[in-house]
Each structure stands twice: as structure tokens, then as C-alpha cells.
Chains A and B, each alone.
Chain A
Amino acid sequence: MNWGRAKNLLIILFIITDIFLLILLLQIKFTASQIPEDIIEKTAIILQDHGIQVQSEQIPQKRVENRNVIMENFFRLPDEAANKLLGDEAQASVSNSQLYEYRYESPEGTLHIKDSGFTYQSKKTKKPYEADKLPSPEHLTEMVLRKLSDLGFSKRTTVVSRITNHDGIYGCVVEPTYENRKIYGIAMHITVDSEDILSIEGNWFTAEGSEAYGQEKLLDVTAVLTGLIYHEGKTPMTITDISFGYYAADDYLDSREIVAVPVYVITDETGSIHVFDARVGTAIE
């Protein structure tokens, strides 16, 4: 037996085997990460038949990994948070760890922390925008994020929305994000004038990381959409947007650490959002 020739033959055989296995693996991975197009089209047709208008292009084709986002309460260490917002001169006037209630004051402003949320109030004199110098939404967003960053909030993981104007004093809502996906349920309501933040009210948690459940797949968005036809009050409806995000239940916002779960968020023609638990498909009211 010619051992050299046998080796050549084996090398060729294994190259073919490896190529076959590689193609098979890539195919499995690709199939696992995408919802088949025909399923998406059929879903759109079923929904339309039941009075829910949606275009198949609006339905995201890419499957999303099942992962929870671990969020830490920004105010879990009240003294530290007060120093960030009010500076080193912050003095505590109330400090009750049993009731979890704290009040701080400094020349900059006041801060009231409770288990249900927090309120920050600036002591600076209001300087509303002049009518002829109103900022663009982009400019205001950039200013809010910069000022929040000065107060210790990360501007890379926040998103500003719902901007309103009341006589030159602007209001907006700031929500956290994780890997560019919005985390619903947590929000700060902010008012700003032409120079600075005037007040902040709400809850704030920062994403500390995530935990993946690789073997437990999320429901496909098509399954959740199909389930809409059985939800009372959801038809007729025109879907304007379908996105993926995370949700932290407001019942648990008085915690030190919470876990935001994956959700599908469906926006209708009225601007209302409908949130569905992506793990089981149930509606979150």
C-alpha cells in the first residue's frame, strides 16, 4: 500500500467533508437568525384579513437573541448620587434608610430621593428661550444630553423624546437604551431653559450588562403579531412601526437592581404603543 497516496486521498476527502460541514453550519446559523420570508408575507395577509393593516416590509425579519438587561438603580447609593447632581457641597437634611427617603440641598439645587423615584430642582433663575431663538429638536437633544452628562448620567445610553415647549421652557422625556435598543418603563421628565436643566423627575437605572439565554429562543415577532387578532380592542388597527426593545416593570422600580426583559413594541396610527413580552407573547399593560 502506498501510504503517501492514501494520505493524499484522505486529505481530499476531509477537505470535502469540512467544506460540506462548514456550509451546513452556516446554513443552520443563517436559518436560525432569520424568519422565512413566506412566513412574514403570510402573517401580513392574516393580519389584514382581521382588520390589522401592516406591510410585510414593516415586519423585522431578523430574529433577536433572548437576553435580559440588568439595570442598577442610579440612586442605590444616595450620598454618591447627591454629590453627582448637587456637587460636593450637598448636605443631607433627611436621611432615613428604613423608609428609603433622602433630601439633599446645595447652592446648586435640591434633590429628593424616595423608593418610588427622585426629584431634582435647580436653584438657578429661569432663562426661557426667546421666541426668535427657539432651538431645533436636534440642538435641544444635544444640549439635554450634554447637561445630563455633566450631572453624571451617561449620554451614550440615553434617548430624548417627546419634546414640548411652554413659553420658552422646554420639556422632554429621557429614556435609557441598551445596545441602541430602548428600555421601556424607566424615564426621567426634564425641563430645560436656554442655559441649563431646571428640573428632573422620575426614575433612573443604568444598564450594567446582560445575560443571554441562548438555548431559550424568543417568540418570533410573527407569532406575536398573529396573536394580535385575538386581543380585544386591538382591531381595527394600522401598524406604523414594529421594534424590539426591553421593558422594566414599574412595580419593581423601587428596587436596587431590576432585570429588563425583551419585548416587541408595536406602534399604531394614533401613536399608541403596545408592548408584548417577547418570551411568551403576552401583552404588557
Chain B
Amino acid sequence: MLKKHFKSIVLVFLVLTAFFLASQIWFSSYLLPDGYNYFVSGFQKYIVRPITGLFHGRMSTDFSENFQALSRPEKVVINVSGERRSFRDGQKNFEEALRLADETMSHFLSGDYDVKSREVVTMDAYNAVLRGKSIYVDYGKNYDYNLFSVSVCGQAKNRFSDDLSVVKGYIISLQDSIMNDISVFIMDQKSSNIYRYVIEADKNELDSRMATLLQTTPADHSLSYSFELNFHKEQTEIVSKVLFEPMILMELTPVSLAKATAVTPGGFDQTVDAHMLDTVLRMFSINTRTMWRYMDLTGARVFVENDATLTLYPDGYLEYQTVGNGKGLDISADKSGYDIYAATSDAVDFVTELCSYMPPEIFEHLRITSDLTNDSAKQGFYRICFDYCIDGIPVRCQSTEGQGHTIELEIEGGYLKSYRQHVTTYELNVNETLQTVPMLSAADFLVDDLYDGKTPLYIDKLSVCYVEKENGQLASGWRAVVDGREYIVE
């Protein structure tokens, strides 16, 4: 039997040997400089990533699409006939509430609605609108108007660019007219001018959708703006130790949050896999051919290039820092007239690409939480921060310098000077809840720490946040901005 098939076996063996030798010549020659990696990286780039991209649609390469995902409003407040509901990202009906506001605003900015009149109104008039039938969209941070416009309608420039330069939010008002008109109120944070634009739109449809939304949303405890409680101005009969920005929504009872724990993915500690490490090094232009590398006494892995170091800390921090007079990492294609718009665009593109190599839930939960405005004092220098948000609530990470953001970038003139990211995801335990201290107690803590006995503290912002502890557990806290500085109260 064996003898009968001997020639066939020899022939098969010789054919296989020819294939083996040819493959050895192929891979050891200059035909494929990367050898088998050519196929591995090609497979990752052209097959795996596009397929995973289908399931995580936000990770596109389009700036405006990614920016819209990263710059969602902090809250949407709907007021109808004395009833008020506040919707936070991740909460029931938030998407519908945001769609309601976004659709109107998008048509308004794109020029689909005719502007019947435009006037400058007072702060009192602006505040009064919030008591009537209205939708208030609060981004929680200042935006350069061009960026705001991109996040709402996908276009940077439009007919309102002359009026507005820095925007924090807007109000759509449906009151005070029997006509089918609605009013859009926007405050320019730079000039403090408040503009009212009366536009011709389908008021009735908006009205009915708002009513439906309120009916399907469970009633919350009573929510009041600080101006409604007179917390925004000094009182004549008593000494005011603290004042609140008029639009802060006062939570008079403790806020309940879902319990959560940090889950550091095995990506950036000691078990980092070679492919991901290569990708990260490539993203930061660390040349594996010329770099120096060591592990310090804390176990952090340090990669040193001529002008920069990249460090992977065992607790999941990734840090890139230029050293000496290093220019930094070139992340911008066009550096002429470099402004916050270009810096944000570069930052979003960079973060999107880097996060595409990490667990997808990281990018899905990221939100930009720093102001995106031009700073005349530091022309060309921009610090942009991203936070991991659980149900719209940002998580502040413990670091040696205190509570830090999930991602902090510093860009100067189109060059990335520093980058720091806490690479982790969080696991929700929906069966257990955390309670914050009451909002006014948090304000009392701030007074105890900061009040000088003369000038009342002015709280620009006071919102709920998570604070990650060293053991990975998340505690509840309040994020306060007082006189331009941020404080975390637990």
C-alpha cells in the first residue's frame, strides 16, 4: 500500500518543501520588510478596526461627528406650565430632550428658519424666560462660538458669528406670543450681551412634543434656579457669605448616584501587549529604533526620545511630556492662525485615534469638560480636558497632584506639549447607590475653607461628580468652580 503511493507522498512532500522555502525567502528578503507583521497589522487596520467601528459608530474619523459626541450638553431643563424636569446625559429621556432642542437649534443656526427680529435683552428678562415654557440647554462650559456651532449643526460659520463669540448654552422659549413663533435666547459670555432672536418655526409641534416628554418622565423633586431663591445676589438684611451664579440649578436634597468601581484594563500596566505598545509609541512618535527604555523603582515603564518621554504607570496612567526645549509632537497639519478651533480639532482627532486602540467604552464615555475658548493671555497655548462620564457625571481621578481629569492635553502652536490619560473603565453596580452631601452643605464646606470674612464667595458652578479613590472605588462629590478655580467637595 505504502509502496503504491510512495511517489505521490514524495511529490506532496516536495511541493510542500517548495512552498516552505519560497515563504522563507519571501519573508527574509526585502519584499516584506515587516515580515509576518505586514499581515498582522494589515489585518488589524483593514479588517478588525472597520468591523469594530460598525459596532461603535462614534469612532469615526470625521471631526464634527466626533466632536458632537464629545461635547454633549451637561443637562437639558424643560419647563412647561410650572412643571420642570432636568435631564442629564444617560438619564431616561435625555436623548429625546436633547433631540428636541438640537433640531430647533440646528435649523436656526443653519438658516432654515427666518429670523423675524433680533434684540439685546436684560439679564432679568433672560432669567424670566426660564420660568415660562422653555427648553434650557446647559453645556456647563464656555465654547468658542464656531465650535458650538459645529457641535449643533456641523458648520463652523453662520449668520450669527458676528453677534456671538463665546457661548455656554441657550434657551428656546415658547411663551408670550399667539403667533407660531419661538424665541431663541443666547448669551455671549465674552461681551455679556444677551440676544433674543424671534424665529418662525413650528411652535405647536414643539409644544406637543415637550408635553409628551414631560408626561413620560417621572416627576423629580422640586428644582429651582439660584436666581429664583435669591441666592445670586447679596441680601440687605444679612451678610451673604456665598453667592451662586443665577443659572445654577439648586439641588436641595442629596443626589443619589449609582455605585461604580474602576476596572483598569490590562492595557497599560505591566501586561501591555506588544501590538498596543507599538501603536501607542507610534502615536507619540517615539521611535523604537532610537529610544531608550527603563522601568523606574515604582514600576513605571519609561520610553525616552530626544525631546520627550512617554511613561506608562502601573496604576493605568499614560503620560507624554516634552522635555527641555523640545517642540513637542506635531499634531497639526496647518499651524497658521492657530486658534482654539484648530487646537480642539487636533485634540479630538488625536484622542479619537488613540482611544480607538483602547477598550471602546472609554471613548463612548468621554466628554470634553474644560472651557474651549481663546485665552488672550496665552496666545496659541491651549489646555483641553476630557472626563470619563458615567450617566453624564464626570469622574475625577486620584493622582499625586490631587483629583485630575481622565485626559489632559496641552497644545502650543500645533504641537502637543503634554498628554496625560488615566486609562480605565468603570463598572456600574446599579443595585447600590451613593448619596452626595446636600448641595448647600457642600457650599458651607467651601465657605469654611475659602471665605475671607469680607467678600462673599462667588460660585460659578456647582455640579455632581464622582471621585475615584486609591482602591478604585468611586465616591460622590461636588465639583465647584469658585473665582475661576476648581474645588472638589466630598
Name A residues whose Cβ lies closer than 8 Å to a Cβ of B.
4, 7-8, 10-11, 14-15, 17-18, 21-22, 24-25, 28-29, 32, 68, 76, 100, 115, 213-216, 249, 252, 254-259, 261, 277, 279-280
Contacts and interface: CB of A to CB of B under 8 A. Distances in A.
A216 B17 contact: no
A103 B85 CA distance: 65
Nearest to A258: B294
B28 A25 contact: yes
Contacts of B21: 18, 21-22, 24-25
Contact of A256 (B11, B34, B295): B295
Contact of A255 (B10, B18, B297): B297
Given A28-B25, A29-B28, A257 B18 contact: no
A254 B18 contact: no
B292 A261 contact: yes
B299 interface: yes
Nearest to B33: A215
B29 interface: yes
Name the residue in A15, A22, A115, A215 with the highest tally of chain B Cβ atoms < 10 Å from its Cβ. A215
A17 B289 CA distance: 38
Given A11-B11, A32-B28, A215-B34, A115 B297 contact: yes
A134 to B, nearest CB: 41
Nearest to A254: B297
Contacts of A4: 7
Contacts of B28: 25, 28-29, 32
A261 B15 CA distance: 42
B128 interface: no
15 contacts: A4-B7, A7-B7, A17-B14, A17-B18, A18-B21, A24-B25, A25-B21, A28-B25, A213-B288, A216-B288, A252-B294, A256-B299, A259-B293, A277-B290, A279-B290
Contacts, number: 80
B449 interface: no
B7 A8 contact: yes
B37 interface: yes
Contacts of A259: 292-294
Contacts of A249: 292
Given A24-B21, A24-B25, 7 more contacts: A14-B11, A21-B18, A25-B28, A213-B289, A215-B33, A255-B295, A277-B290
A81 to B, nearest CB: 14
Contacts of A10: 11
B38 to A, nearest CB: 10
A87 B311 CA distance: 37
A14 B35 contact: no
Considering the complex of A and B, which 4 residue pairs feature the smallest CB-CB distances, nearest first? A14-B14, A21-B21, A257-B295, A252-B294
A252 B18 CA distance: 49
A280 B290 contact: yes
A255 B7 contact: no
Nearest to B17: A18
B22 interface: yes
A277 B292 CA distance: 11
Nearest to A72: B295
A7 B289 contact: no
Interface string B256-292: 0000000000000000000000000000000011101
A176 B35 CA distance: 33
Interface string B145-179: 00000000000000000000000000000000000
Contact of B289 (A32, A76, A214, A216): A216
Nearest to B25: A25
Contacts of A11: 7, 10-11, 14
A14 B7 contact: no
B294 A257 contact: yes
Contacts of B18: 14, 17-18, 21
Interface in B288-317: 288-290, 292-297, 299, 302
A22 B302 CA distance: 43
Contacts of A280: 289-290
Interface string B15-51: 1011001101100110001110100000000000000
A255 B25 contact: no
A254 B295 CA distance: 9
A252 B292 contact: yes
A215 to B, nearest CB: 6
Contacts of B204: none
Contacts of B290: 277, 279-280
A72 to B, nearest CB: 9
B248 to A, nearest CB: 42
B8 interface: yes
Contacts of A115: 297
Contact of B24 (A25, A68, A257, A258): A25
